[in-house]
Structure 1
């Protein structure tokens, strides 16, 4: 997990909307390309989901992680 990952997921948790990485980056003050890359990584980990081309939202797994009900190491173990 990169430091920005928590900020990305927290944004989606606080704003139940679907947004593009560009809009997200403008709201959390990070580079658009970096946020786009991290959204893809979070999507691959099932923490975000791509609901339309270029739009993301937080998954139930992402909510569980933010609520402390899921350890990120559990996700890493699933990838093996």
Structure 2
């Protein structure tokens, strides 16, 4: 996990909605955060592989946080024993 991962998960948790990568990046820019689209393109699929986010069914790729992602943010899920997918 990286600091960017935590910020992505926190954003998805706070909004409670699904967002595509460009939407996430636009929101970070609006807030003055410096997570680039390239970073999102690299990290969000890893979060999906770790079952921390999922793609909402439907047209396009909109990501939302999973229950496991919420537990991680609350300190209830320990990911240290799990290998990082495609590190």
TM-score by length of 2: 0.79
Gaps of 5+ in 1: none
Gaps of 5+ in 2: none
For 1:45 and 1:9, the matched residues in 2 are separated by 12
CA RMSD of aligned residues (A): 1.6
Q: Stretches of 4+ moved more than 4 A in 1? A: none
Q: Give the number of the structure with larger relative contact order, counting CA–CA contacts within 8 Å between residues 6 or more apart.
A: 2
TM-score by length of 1: 0.86
Q: Which has the higher helix share?
A: 1
Q: Which has the higher strand share?
A: 1
